[in-house]
Structure 1
Amino acid sequence: MLETYLTDRDADASLRIRTAAVLLFARQGYAATSVRDLARAVNMTNAGIYHHVSSKEALLADLMREAHRGLIDSTVRVLAGVSGPAERLGLLISSLTAIHALNPMITRVMDGELRSLTPASSAYDEIIGLRDAYEDQWRRTLADGVAGGVFRVADQRLTRLALMSMCTGTSEWYRHDGDSSLDQVCAEFVAIGLAAVRAPVPMITRPDLSLLPIYPWEPPDVLPLSAPYRS
């Protein structure tokens, strides 16, 4: 049970704190979560929390930084050696979908809590830079497809935002025991995405799941935020 793990004093304290933070930030929001809430979740004192993290905002920034780095690094691995824009777009869609479906809590924090970092702070600027570095993969892929006549897109920015939103939405509703498997969801999203850019679906669109990031502080066995909806 997650609660048992979070309060297990024999387990790594830093990891327990981060797991609890991801769960609480995703469930009730960063602003509504206090250090006292974190301390209660892991059966520690406030002073014990501050022994491992300098501040609540620093903890959020660290979680977002590592989540974005994992997303970027895994995307580079997934796209290695793939040159065709249709193949690249298919892999971008399926990998982003899978990452959000498999890690619904940390991806919700990564996607939704930038607003909670102090504007113009070094942490804020760093996360913006990491986010832009990831989205550049999508920008270049769409631009290459349009330039090569493979894609027909009226507005590349709106297309990118629409496709990425489709993928990231799986963190809200996907369930591993739902009516559709992750492979089926990824395949359908790839078909939708390639239809949106007027391109045929390529042969290779499923990422090697072993190349996707592993987030050790993703709370295990937690229902998605919009449960009981079944995929």
Structure 2
Amino acid sequence: MDLKDRDANANRRIRTAAVLLFAQRGYAATGIRDLARAVGMTNAGVYHHVASKEALLADLMRVAQRGLIDATERMLHGVESPADRLALLISSLTATHALSPMTTRVMDGELRSLTPGSPARDEIIALRDAYEDHWRSAIADGVAAGAFHIADQRLTRLALMSMCTGTSEWYRPDGDSSLEQVCAEFTAIGLAAVRSSVQVVAVPDLSLLPEFPWEPPDVRNDPPIAEAGR
């Protein structure tokens, strides 16, 4: 393995360990020493690959948010019907959180850990808002067309997105329902929530979902690292 490959491997190992530690312990409770111990490096070795712990967090969140946006826009390309767009948004967000639970927990839950007013925090907020704009426009267009009947568009959007992101906490690949079944059921629930009068024909292409190479193996049934190491 040449130097470039070794660096790429080390970067991936660091990011995998960081996602797992940040998701299980929380960013604030994880130090560079914890990260170095998890990947078998010295503190200096970790700093060779990352500028700081906060820079590492920001990079993980930046790449994850951009991946979600890119995948969403590929999935929505050419889809006009608000009901179809909402169905695809529900399916893609549900599946992304189900398949990448640790990455999405960090992406969703650690914005508070970025320094207020910093360029990195402002960038992540802008990316988050750009993604949510797809939900806002699908719901608003459905209401304007008379296809959706909603009292409060913002509350409806937040409720539906929370339903989808919750799969990072409970979905299991070996559970009673397949991912396709979960997506289909959530889509039915979502369209019922907006009182859609339009039949949905769009079928999600789950191959378009974002891939995060650092996502740890599924460890949701394992004890947190803080406990396992005692």
What TM-score do you get using the length of structure 2 for normalisation?
0.91
- 1:38 aligned onto 2:35: yes
Task: Give 3-state SS (helix, strand or coil) of 2:33's partner.
Answer: helix
1:83-122, Cα deviation, whole Å (9 max, x unpaired): 0000000000000000000000000000000000000100
Q: 2 CA distance for matches of 1:191 and 1:226?
A: 34
SS in 2 for 1:12: helix
Partner of 2:69: 72
Tell me the distance in 2 between the aligned counterparts of 1:85 and 1:226: 42
Unpaired runs of 5+ in structure 1? 1-8
C-alpha separation in 1, matches of 2:42 and 2:157: 45
SS in structure 1 of the partner of residue 48 of structure 2: helix
Q: CA deviation at 1:203?
A: 3.8
Aligned to 1:108: 105
Quick one: distance in 1 between partners of 2:203 and 2:168? 18
* Separation in 1, partners of 2:32, 2:116: 21
Q: What whole-Å deviation, never above 9, does each CA across 1:177-210 have from its counterpart, x for those lacking one?
A: 0011101110110000000000157343432111
Structure 2 partner of 1:169: 166
Deviations, residues 17-72 of structure 1 (Å, cap 9, x unaligned): 00000000001100000000000000000000000000000000000000000000
Distance between the aligned counterparts of 2:59 and 2:213, measured in 1?
Answer: 13
Instruction: Work out the CA distance in 1 between the residues paired with 2:192 and 2:175.
Output: 25
Match of 1:217 among 214, 219, 223: 214
Note closer, same or farther for the CA distance 1:171–1:35 as it changes in structure 2 (3 Å cut). Answer: same
Out of 13, 24, 27, the residue aligned to residue 16 of structure 1 is 13
* Contact 1:173-1:226 at 8 Å conserved across structures: no
Q: Does residue 90 of structure 1 match 2:87?
A: yes
TM-align CA RMSD = 1.8
- Counterpart amino acid of 1:23? L
**Given the alignment, which residue of 155, 158, 179 partners 2:155?**
158
Q: Helix, strand or coil: the match of 2:203?
A: coil
Change (3 A) 1:212 1:226: farther
Distance change in 2, residues 1:86/1:10 (3 Å): closer
Which of 48, 54, 59 is equivalent to 2:45? 48
Q: Deviations over 1:143-198 (max 9, x none)?
A: 00000000000000000000000000000000000011101110110000000000
**Structure 1 stretch displaced more, 213-222 or 22-31:** 213-222
Matched with 2:3 is none
Counterpart of 2:167, as a letter, is T
**Aligned-partner Cα distance in 2 for 1:24–1:200:** 45
Distance (whole Å) between structure 2 residues aligned to residue 200 and residue 29 of structure 1: 43
Structure 2 distance, partners of 1:118, 1:97, is 29
Q: Structure 1 residues 62, 212: CA separation in 2 closer, same or farther (over 3 Å shift)?
A: same
Corresponding residue number in structure 1 for 2:58: 61
Work out the CA distance in 2 between the residues paired with 1:10 and 1:62: 17
What is the identity percentage for the equivalent residue pairs of Structure 1 and Structure 2? 76
Cα distance in 1 for partners of 2:145, 2:223 equals 40
Q: Is the 8 A contact 1:187 1:206 kept in 2?
A: no
Name the TM-score, length of structure 1 as normaliser: 0.91
What is the letter of the counterpart of residue 52 of structure 1?
A: H
Report the 3-state secondary structure (helix = DSSP H, G, I; strand = E; otherwise coil) of the residue aligned with 1:139: helix
